[in-house]
Amino acid sequence: MIKKCLFPAAGYGTRFLPATKSMPKEMMPIVSKPLIEYGVEEALEAGMSDICIVTGRGKRALEDHFDVNYELEQQISGTSKEGLLDNIRQLIDQCTFSYTRQHEMKGLGHAIQTGKALVGDQPFGVVLADDLCINTEGHGVLSQMAQLYKQFRCSIIAVQEVPEDEVHKYGVIAGQAISDDIVRVEHMVEKPSKENAPSNLAIIGRYILTPDVFDLIADTEPGKGGEIQITDALMKQAQRGCVLAYKFKGKRFDCGSIDGFIEATNYCYDRQCIEQSV
């Protein structure tokens, strides 16, 4: 039912310099697949085949990745390498890709607002490709959230419990539990100190947003770090109506940090070895 998925991908990825000096951080591979490709697979599995990417300077490799490379395909055609492009080829066949550029880095809220031109007036998914989410036991995280959207028809944000001394890295929510894994959001704070955090439920980079969020972002003043924060806009939405936080099923790796990236790499490598040996 939700067709569009927005990928804010204009950020610099400074934690991975020099690797990200001329390469988009979303192209960093976990084993042999770029982070953004995992995200697009997850969106497609959730039925979102219109992929909308907010890019910036130095991000052209993203567009080339989601396009056919005839010369390369010709070169490896008939060799043992041919199958290595099957996955990306299927994504290209099944999805449409559109792009717009964020000219200034003014925060995640601003990046999402920039995507309005591509998304239009309909509910949409958001994937922050840095957060790699894998659920080997069933549906992917975005698909789980799309199911919830069908039921509740309001914005949904993915959350996960984190240790108290890590809350300052995340948007943090609190509210009324309406089931074991769903909380109706009443408070949201972007990157609070341990002392000011309303809970230890941290926002993870998966959202389903209703389009009224665009007007709310437009009215949002710069917040934490002088940036326009989606967390602040969603807090207004929560006050007006309904925003649900969902404790998803699956594993999440913070691939925006070196440690998380290495952990994800080891996990995916081990799984790939298991798959290949069965």
Nearest CB to ligand G1P, comparing residues 16 and 95 = 16
For ligand G1P, the binding residue among 26, 41, 50, 131 (CB under 6 A) is 131
Which of 233, 254, 234, 229 lies closest to 244, judged by CA?
A: 234
Q: Does residue 203 touch ligand G1P according to CB under 6 A?
A: yes
| Binding-site string for ligand G1P from residue 249 to residue 268, where x marks contact by CB under 6 A and - marks none | -------x------------
For ligand G1P, the binding residue among 6, 10, 128, 145 (CB under 6 A) is 128
Query: C-beta of 74: minimal distance to ligand G1P in Å?
Result: 39
Nearest CB to ligand G1P, comparing residues 54 and 202 = 202
Query: Is 188 within 8 Å of 103 (Cβ atoms)?
Result: no
Q: For residue 55, what is the enclosing H or E element?
A: strand 50-55
Would you say the C-alpha torsion 5, 10, 14, 17 has a positive or negative sign?
A: positive
Which of 171, 276, 275, 160 lies closest to 223, judged by CA?
A: 171
Nearest CB to ligand G1P, comparing residues 88 and 206 = 206
Nearest CB to ligand G1P, comparing residues 91 and 127 = 127
CA distance 105 to 109: 10
Nearest CB to ligand G1P, comparing residues 4 and 191 = 191
Nearest CB to ligand G1P, comparing residues 26 and 190 = 190
Task: Residue 64: count other Cβ atoms within 10 Å of its Cβ.
Answer: 10
Q: Which residues, numbered 52-111, are part of the site for ligand G1P (CB under 6 A)?
A: 108
Q: Which residues, numbered 166-195, are part of the site for ligand G1P (CB under 6 A)?
A: 170-171, 190
Query: Is 148 within 8 Å of 156 (Cβ atoms)?
Result: yes
Query: C-beta of 16: minimal distance to ligand G1P in Å?
Result: 14
| Binding-site string for ligand G1P from residue 211 to residue 240, where x marks contact by CB under 6 A and - marks none | ------------------x-x---------
DSSP letters spanning 60-73: HHHHHHTS--HHHH
Q: What are phi and psi of 257, to 5 degrees?
A: -115, 150
Count residues near ligand G1P (CB under 6 A). Answer: 13
Tokens linked to 100: 């717009």
CA distance 52 to 9: 10
- Per CB under 6 A, residues contacting ligand G1P are 108, 128, 131, 170-171, 190, 202-205, 229, 231, 256
